[in-house]
Amino acid sequence: SSRLFHPETITIQTPHTTISDHSFSLMAGPCSVESKEHVLKMAAAAKAAGATVLRGGAFKPRTSPYSFQGLGEDGLKFLRAAADQFEMDVVTEIMDEEHLAMIEQYTDIFQIGARNMQNFSLLKAVGKTNKPVMLKRGLSATIDDVLNAAEYIAAGGNHNIILTERGIRTFDNKYTRNTLDVGAVPVLHKLTPYPVIVDPSHAAGHVDFVTPEALAGTAAGADGLIIEIHDDPAHALSDGPQALSPAELKTTFAKAQQIHHLL
Ligand code: PEP
Ligand code: MN
């Protein structure tokens, strides 16, 4: 699925969202679906900021097995209901291929998390569906690793792939959680026909750096952003330190749209 064979950029179409070269979209929501009420509140905030895709994890790839693991299918139900109420699409992570049929009922876009970027059986499984797949770059994945991971999905017949730069591990991640590889955005655009979006939340890891990294990724040509938000970050069940407030999301996306229009 290299650019050589697909000169036209692939457009991802979900009910309320177009992700392509000619659009700039926002996916936003909490890191985890925390409750029915909370995800509804976050959906309202995401929608008000201009998001058309609601994010939220119901199956969480936590570093520690003792950290909050997600609400599972109940979380998917709450996420779907919140998205429907605000006429938004859903993106949520699939961690295990045995959940595919179940998650497929609730989501518009499958998220493959960074830790699963080279889970080849999972890639093959989503490659057999025709649902869009948001493939996140692995923590230590090279560009060629990303291309091969995407190829695993495409080889099954599913070319509805969104590549996501979310930061990689480098020699200095003391002040940022990961290092946003802004250069990966134009490189992936050159090498593949897929839309490329940027996740500044997991790259930055700290609320102070999310907006600058969102804007840098936009300037590098990202076709959209995925950003985590929370109304009470100190009590978030996951990734609180990197959550933007609803108000911050709104100003950040407005600035990003201005930058995108200049390109
Ligand atoms: C997430 O989106 O909440 C997440 C766990 O992201 P990543 O796989 O990029 O770490
Ligand atoms: Mn997260």
Closest atom, ligand 1, to C-alpha of 60: 5
Q: Verify whether ligand 1 is closer than 6 Å to residue 166 (CB atom).
A: yes
What is the pLDDT at residue 71?
97
CB atoms within 10 A of CB 174: 6
Average pLDDT over residues 100-128: 98
Query: Does pLDDT of 4 surpass 80?
Result: no
Q: How far is the CA of 96 from the centre of ligand 2 (A)?
A: 17
- The confidence band for 86, taking pLDDT boundaries of 50, 70 and 90, is very high
Q: How far is the CA of 61 from the centre of ligand 2 (A)?
A: 9
Instruction: Give the contacts of 117 (CB within 8 A, at least 6 positions apart).
Output: 135, 136, 137, 138, 141, 145, 146, 149
Residue 136's DSSP bridge partners are 164
Q: How far is the CA of 141 from the centre of ligand 2 (A)?
A: 18
What is the pLDDT at residue 2?
78
Average pLDDT over residues 86-95: 98
Closest atom, ligand 1, to C-alpha of 238: 3
Nearest CA to ligand 1 atom 3: 31
Q: What is the pLDDT of residues 218-259, one digit of tens each?
A: 999 999 999 999 999 999 999 999 999 999 999 999 999 999
Rounded Cα–Cα distance for residues 165 and 136 (Å): 6
Look over the chain and give the mean of its residue pLDDT values, rounded to a whole number. 97
Residue 69's DSSP bridge partners are none
Average pLDDT over residues 20-37: 97
What is the pLDDT at residue 7?
76
Rounded Cα–Cα distance for residues 260 and 221 (Å): 7
Find out whether 203 and 155 touch, Cβ atoms under 8 Å. no
CB atoms within 10 A of CB 219: 15
Q: Which two tokens stand for residue 77?
A: 């139900």
Q: How far is the CA of 8 from the centre of ligand 2 (A)?
A: 32
Query: Does pLDDT of 20 surpass 80?
Result: yes
Rounded Cα–Cα distance for residues 149 and 113 (Å): 12
Q: What is the pLDDT of residues 168-217, one digit of tens each?
A: 999 999 999 999 999 999 999 999 999 999 999 999 999 999 999 999 99
Rounded Cα–Cα distance for residues 185 and 137 (Å): 11
Rounded Cα–Cα distance for residues 177 and 161 (Å): 25
ipTM confidence score: 0.99
Q: Verify whether ligand 1 is closer than 6 Å to residue 57 (CB atom).
A: yes
CB atoms within 10 A of CB 255: 14
Query: Does pLDDT of 1 surpass 80?
Result: no
Residue 225's DSSP bridge partners are 26, 198
Alpha-carbon dihedral angle through residues 128, 131, 136, 140, given to the nearest 10 degrees: 0
**pTM score:** 0.98
Query: Does pLDDT of 106 surpass 80?
Result: yes
Q: Verify whether ligand 1 is closer than 6 Å to residue 177 (CB atom).
A: no
Query: Does pLDDT of 3 surpass 90?
Result: no
Closest atom, ligand 1, to C-alpha of 137: 9
Nearest CA to ligand 1 atom 1: 31
Nearest CA to ligand 1 atom 6: 113
Find out whether 150 and 192 touch, Cβ atoms under 8 Å. yes
CA 62 to chain centre: 16
Q: How far is the CA of 19 from the centre of ligand 2 (A)?
A: 21
Rounded Cα–Cα distance for residues 172 and 159 (Å): 35
Helix axes 120-127, 143-155, angle to 10 degrees: 40
CA distances, 78 to each of 41, 42, 52, 187, 211 (Å): 11, 12, 17, 37, 28
Q: What is the pLDDT of residues 44-76, one digit of tens each?
A: 999 999 999 999 999 999 999 999 999 999 999
Over pLDDT 90: what percentage of the chain? Answer: 96
| Residues that place a CB less than 5 A from ion ligand 2 | 31, 239
The CATH superfamily assigned to 12-262 is: Aldolase class I (3.20.20.70)
